[in-house]
C-alpha cells in the first residue's frame, strides 16, 4: 500500500498526535508499505529514509512555545508529486491546513480519505479566546460545526477512545459516518525500569536537586491550563506536611509555567517544586523512571498516552476520574482515580506510604501497558486501510443507490468484526 499521512503537527513537536503518527509510520514501513508524510515546513525527519514533504507554513502564535505551525492549504508542486506517487489512501491527522490539503488531494485524484480525530478542540479554545463568555457562546459551537463539516466526506473516522467517539456522535452531531475506536499503541520497551540502573536514576535525581531518599511526585506533559496542574499544586502543602521528603517534579514546557511558579510561591512551597523545562524526547523514559507516583488531574485527554507510558515505566498512577480513563484504569487495581480535587492528597500519600498498594498498581499497570501495543495499533489500521481501499475500487461497479447503501453497511459490519477480532483487551 502507498499511504499518505497529512498532518499539521510533526517532529520536532512533542505531543500525543506526533507519537501516534510516528508509531503508525514506523510500523507500516516495517510491514513493507510505502508511507509518505505531508507536514508543515520546519518539520524534521526522525530517520533519513523517511519520505517527508513540507508545505509552506508560519508559526502558530497562540502555540509558539510548542513550535506548532499553520500550513498552507495547497501546494501545486507537491500536488504534482502526489500524482506521481499514486497513493492508495489519504489519512488526515488534523482539521487545519494539511488536513484540508489531504481532502483536496483525495477529491482531485480520486483517492479514499479517512481521518483520525485526535483532539476535542473545544477544550482548547482558551488559546484563541481569552474571554470566558465568548468561549462558551460562540467558539465551542463553531468548533463542533467545523469538525462536522470536515468529516462529511471521509470514508470513516478513527477515534482514540469512546469518549471522543461519543463527543463526535452527540456533540458534533456526526451522523451516518462509521467511527472506529482504535487507541494509539506505544512501544513500551524504552520505558522499562530494567533499562536504567539505580545509579542512573540517583544521578538524575541529584542533578535536579532531589536527594536519593526523596519521594518524587511526577507530572510529565504539556504545562497548560487544560492539564489542571494547579489542582495538584493546591494539594501539595498538605502532602509536604505529611511527607517532608517529597518533591513535586513538573517535566515539560507550556504557557502555564509562570502561573504555576507563582502559585507555588503563594503556597510557600517553591523549594519543593521543581520545573525541568523542555527535555529531549529520548530522556522522557528516564524521567518517568524516577517517579514514585505519576499524577494528572486533566479532564481533556482523548486517550491519555502519558498514563500508559507511566504504567510501562512501573510508576503508579493517580488521576482525576474521567470517562476515557475508566476505559483502561480500574480504581485501586492498576491506578487510583479520585472524584474530588481534595482527594488527591490522601491518594498520593497512600501510594507513597503503602508499599503493598504501590506494588499492586505497578504490576497490574504493566499488564495494562502491554495491551496497548504498537503492533495491535498497526494491525487494526492495516486492516482498515485494506477494506476501505478494496471497497472504494468496487464502488465504481455499483449500479444503484440502494446497492451502494447495502455495500456500505456490509463494509461497516466487516470492519467492525475484523477490528473486534484484533482486540486483545477483553472487557
Residue 132 has pLDDT above 60, yes or no: no
100 and 6 housed in the same domain: yes
Task: Quote the cell numbers at residue 204.
Answer: 538524575
131 and 228 housed in the same domain: no
pLDDT band at 214 (very low <50, low <70, confident <90, very high): very high
Tell me what the mean pLDDT of segment 343-356 comes to.
97
305 and 382 housed in the same domain: no
C-beta separation of 339 from 328 below 8 A: no
Cα–Cα distance for residue pair 360/345, rounded to 1 Å: 20
Cα–Cα distance for residue pair 4/85, rounded to 1 Å: 9
347 and 332 housed in the same domain: yes
pLDDT one-digit tens code per residue, 244-269? 999 999 999 888 999 999 999 999 99
161 and 21 housed in the same domain: yes
Q: How many residues does the chain have?
A: 427
pLDDT of 128 reads 53
395 and 364 housed in the same domain: no
Cα–Cα distance for residue pair 392/380, rounded to 1 Å: 18
Q: What's the pTM value of the predicted model, to 2 decimals?
A: 0.82
pLDDT one-digit tens code per residue, 24-61? 999 999 999 999 999 999 898 777 678 999 999 887 76
pLDDT of 393 reads 87
pLDDT band at 122 (very low <50, low <70, confident <90, very high): confident
C-beta separation of 393 from 354 below 8 A: no
pLDDT one-digit tens code per residue, 271-328? 999 999 999 888 999 999 999 999 999 987 767 889 999 999 999 999 999 888 888 9
223 and 339 housed in the same domain: yes
pLDDT one-digit tens code per residue, 156-202? 999 988 889 999 999 999 988 999 999 888 899 999 999 999 999 99
Number of domains, the chain: 3
Q: List the domain range (segments joined by +) for residue 67.
A: 2-186
pLDDT band at 409 (very low <50, low <70, confident <90, very high): confident
257 and 313 housed in the same domain: yes
Burial of 142 (0-12, 13-18, 19+ CB in 10 A): middle
Amino acid at each position: 500500500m502507498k499511504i499518505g499521512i497529512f498532518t499539521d503537527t510533526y517532529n520536532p513537536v512533542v505531543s500525543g498526535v506526533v507519537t501516534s503518527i510516528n508509531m503508525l509510520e514506523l510500523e507500516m514501513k516495517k510491514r513493507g508499505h510505502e508511507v509518505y508524510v505531508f507536514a508543515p515546513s520546519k518539520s524534521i525527519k526522525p530517520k533519513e529514509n523517511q519520505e517527508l514533504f513540507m508545505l509552506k507554513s508560519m508559526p502558530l502564535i497562540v502555540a509558539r512555545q510548542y513550535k506548532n505551525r499553520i500550513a498552507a492549504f495547497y501546494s501545486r508542486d507537491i500536488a504534482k508529486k502526489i500524482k506521481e506517487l499514486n497513493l492508495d489512501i489519504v489519512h488526515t491527522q488534523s482539521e487545519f491546513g494539511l488536513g484540508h490539503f489531504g481532502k483536496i488531494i483525495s477529491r482531485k485524484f480520486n483517492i479514499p480519505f479517512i481521518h483520525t480525530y485526535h483532539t476535542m478542540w473545544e477544550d482548547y479554545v482558551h488559546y484563541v479566546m481569552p474571554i470566558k463568555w465568548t468561549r462558551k457562546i460562540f467558539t465551542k459551537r463553531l468548533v463542533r460545526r467545523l469538525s462536522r463539516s470536515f468529516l462529511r466526506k471521509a470514508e470513516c473516522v478513527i477515534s482514540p477512545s469512546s469518549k471522543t467517539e461519543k463527543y463526535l456522535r452527540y456533540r458534533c452531531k456526526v451522523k451516518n459516518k462509521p467511527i472506529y475506536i482504535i487507541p494509539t499503541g506505544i512501544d513500551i520497551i524504552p520505558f522499562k525500569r530494567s533499562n536504567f540502573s539505580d545509579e542512573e536514576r540517583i544521578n538524575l535525581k541529584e542533578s535536579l536537586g532531589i536527594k536519593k531518599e526523596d519521594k518524587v511526585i511526577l507530572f510529565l506533559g504539556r504545562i497548560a491550563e487544560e492539564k489542571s496542574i494547579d489542582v495538584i499544586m493546591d494539594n501539595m502543602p498538605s502532602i509536604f506536611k505529611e511527607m517532608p521528603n517529597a518533591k513535586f517534579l513538573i517535566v515539560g514546557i507550556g504557557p502555564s509555567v509562570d502561573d504555576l511558579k507563582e502559585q507555588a510561591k503563594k503556597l510557600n512551597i517553591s523549594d519543593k517544586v521543581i520545573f525541568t523545562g523542555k527535555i529531549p524526547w529520548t530522556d522522557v523514559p528516564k524521567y518517568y523512571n524516577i517517579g514514585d507516583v505519576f499524577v494528572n488531574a486533566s479532564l481533556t485527554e482523548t486517550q491519555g498516552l502519558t498514563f500508559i507510558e507511566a504504567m510501562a515505566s512501573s510508576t503508579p498512577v493517580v488521576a482525576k476520574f474521567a470517562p476515557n480513563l475508566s476505559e483502561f484504569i480500574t480504581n485501586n487495581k492498576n491506578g487510583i482515580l479520585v472524584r474530588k480535587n481534595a482527594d488527591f492528597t490522601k491518594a498520593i500519600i497512600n501510594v507513597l506510604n503503602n508499599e503493598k498498594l504501590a506494588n499492586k498498581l505497578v504490576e497490574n499497570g504493566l499488564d495494562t501497558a502491554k495491551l496497548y501495543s504498537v503492533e495491535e495499533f498497526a494491525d487494526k489500521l492495516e486492516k482498515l486501510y485494506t477494506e476501505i481501499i478494496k471497497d472504494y475500487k468496487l464502488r465504481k461497479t455499483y449500479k444503484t443507490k440502494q446497492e451502494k447503501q447495502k455495500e456500505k453497511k456490509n463494509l461497516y459490519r466487516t470492519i467492525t468484526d475484523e477490528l473486534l477480532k484484533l482486540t486483545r483487551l477483553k472487557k
